[in-house]
Amino acid sequence: MKKVSIVIPMYYEEEVANECYEKVSEVLKGIGDKYDYEIIFVNDGSKDKTLEILEEISKKDEKAKIISFSRNFGHQAAVTAGLREVTGDAIVIIDADLQDPPKLIPKMLELWEQGNEVIYGKRKTRKGESAFKLLTAKMFYKTLNALSDVEIPKDTGDFRLVDRKVVDVINSLPEHNKFLRGLFSWVGFKQKAYEYERQERFAGKTKYPLKKMLKLASDGIISFSNKPIKLVGALGIISIVISIIILIYALISYIFQLNNLSAGWTSIMVAVTFFAGVQLLSLWVISEYIGRIYDEAKGRPQYIVDKKINFDK
């Protein structure tokens, strides 16, 4: 019998944990005659009752497995940890808050049986998300696709069903800061979009404040594109051209005794501030890359597991 593994990251999800488990296992029991299954919950360092609730669940149901981090390492790390432990033939990544309806899993499995290897959820509508979130998400995918060398489908999150083969490839990649939705597109294989209506969060608030969104966005852009570095180069050239123009202008004004420049104060100020700006900007972009190279060079793990439950069963 084929096996389906579900990976569910959780960060402060005590309000949804039970409901999430119920809904997901209900769906999986419904197709239990065809597929064996396991549910891997990754507790991403929540300090509320999330872990307690999950432990309760895991006592009753040995198909519910838990990986618990020593602290919060972030959504991508949590999913990555889950992917490392899955034993199924098909793997589903789904958020805990039921924004991505578990009842779609059987449909996705059908598409998988037809030979598709990455079936990614594409959001037709997004209920209950603020205009700010929608706008920033749109900007993010626009920028990312303009900058990066692989096409990353817009309006997709991490909700997807992937074949074992693909997960093995992802697991074999040595990089630490994995931007999963980019990588799943980058690896190739037979991809298929699956349109669905994104629901409102079942309970609780988003665990993605602006700071985490920005981190995700910059990880995505930096790890999938070298263009920002080139952009800095272009900016440098433009600013040199501008400074030459200023110089020529000043020279003309000097030669023809126009006396319109009060002892060069304006041009100096413009040049100084302009170059300072360009240099700081360049430094920032370069340091983003160096920072990530440094992270990778240190070779620290992307996450630290505190405990694992039900994995030996």
198 binds, among Mg ion, ligand UDP, none (CB under 5 to 8 A by kind): none
Rg of the chain on CA atoms, in Å = 25
140 binds, among Mg ion, ligand UDP, none (CB under 5 to 8 A by kind): none
Here the tokens at position 275 are 């170059």
Smallest distance from the beta carbon of 306 to ligand UDP, in angstroms?
14
75 binds, among Mg ion, ligand UDP, none (CB under 5 to 8 A by kind): ligand UDP
232 binds, among ligand UDP, Mg ion, none (CB under 5 to 8 A by kind): none
The Cα 131–Cα 218 span in angstroms is 21
Q: Of 55 and 97, which CB lies nearer to Mg ion in the complex structure?
A: 97
Contacts of ligand UDP in 185-244 (CB under 6 A): 206-208
**Judged by CB under 5 A, does residue 310 bind Mg ion?**
no
Angle between helices 164-172 and 75-85 (to 10 degrees): 120
Smallest distance from the beta carbon of 98 to Mg ion, in angstroms?
8
Here the tokens at position 61 are 């149901």
Here the tokens at position 12 are 């402060």
β-pair partners for 66: 41, 309
* Contact call for residues 101 and 200 (beta carbons, < 8 A): no
**Judged by CB under 5 A, does residue 99 bind Mg ion?**
yes
The Cα 232–Cα 220 span in angstroms is 18
Residues that bind ligand UDP (rule: CB under 6 A) add up to a total of 16
The Cα 270–Cα 176 span in angstroms is 42
Site string for ligand UDP, 63-102 (x = CB under 6 A): ---------x-xx--x----------------xxx-x---
State the DSSP code for 102. G
Contacts of ligand UDP in 19-48 (CB under 6 A): 44
Here the tokens at position 58 are 């895991």
Smallest distance from the beta carbon of 196 to Mg ion, in angstroms?
14
Residue 180, classified by CB atoms within 10 Å of its CB into exposed (0-12), middle (13-18) or buried (19+), is buried
Q: What angle do CA 294, 300, 303 make, to 5 degrees?
A: 125
Q: Which stretch binds Mg ion (CB under 5 A): 5-13, 20-28, 92-100, 240-248?
A: 92-100
**Judged by CB under 5 A, does residue 156 bind Mg ion?**
no
88 binds, among Mg ion, ligand UDP, none (CB under 5 to 8 A by kind): none
Residue 280, number of CB atoms within 10 A of its CB: 10
Point out which residues bind ligand UDP (CB under 6 A): 9-11, 13, 44, 72, 74-75, 78, 95-97, 99, 206-208
Residues that bind Mg ion (CB under 5 A): 95, 97, 99
